[in-house]
Amino acid sequence: MPAASPAAAAVKAASEELRKQAGEPVDPNTYLIGPEDILRIMVWENPNVSGPVTVRPDGMITLPLIDDLKAGGITPKQLKDLVTKAYEEFIVKPEVMISVVAVNSKFYYVSGEVNRPGQYPLVTAKTVMQALTIAGGLREFANKKNIVITRGPKRFKFNYNDVIKGKNGQQDIYLESGDMINVP
């Protein structure tokens, strides 16, 4: 296997630094970019075409020289391939790095008897139990047996007492964007 070029090594190092700054990591092979996500596009030794971009509500981004590209619904890795191919018309062997700086398109809500109700980003896969922990845990008078997760028209029951005791673990489902956890 050939050694990575100095440019590729520098792009990889910059990518790792941005991931540290951005907080929770986004897997560039599986994360699907969505509207309002903020991306950093870096083209090695080409600062005039590098920088942050926000994904528009229509899923498009606008880049210097190449105008609009579809970013919504694809992974950062797939977008990297598209941007690299588009810039090959203007730049010799462009080294492109795409990173998700802020996830603004995927979130879940926690309401009711938790210490910190609100909207939370869904950057990586999270279960109901993890979400309740992130929301500061349950308040003293929370009804632990009748927690409800609403996903569109579907409703899922969650019994905190059972899950914490290792019973009915299948209730601890993975959240999807837009899910609402209500703790009565």
pLDDT tens profile 102-153: 989 999 999 999 999 999 998 888 999 999 999 999 999 999 999 999 999 9
In angstroms, rounded to a whole number, what is the distance separating the alpha carbons of residues 50 and 65?
Answer: 11
Which residue type is seen at 152? G
- Residue 140 neighbours by CB under 8 Å, 6+ apart: none
| pTM given for the model | 0.68
In angstroms, rounded to a whole number, what is the distance separating the alpha carbons of residues 180 and 107?
Answer: 9
Which residue type is seen at 168? N
164 pLDDT above the threshold of 80: yes
Which pLDDT band holds residue 1 (cuts at 50, 70, 90)?
Answer: very low
The gap between the terminal CA atoms of the chain, to the nearest Å, is 57
166 pLDDT above the threshold of 60: yes
Instruction: Check residues 131 and 17 and name the one with the higher pLDDT.
Output: 131
Alpha carbon of residue 5 to chain centroid: 29
Contact 49, 87 (CB under 8 A): yes
Sorted by where each starts, the structural domains of the chain and their CATH numbers stand as 6-102 (3.30.1950.10), 107-183 (3.10.560.10)
pLDDT tens profile 50-95: 999 999 999 999 999 998 999 999 999 999 999 999 999 999 999 9
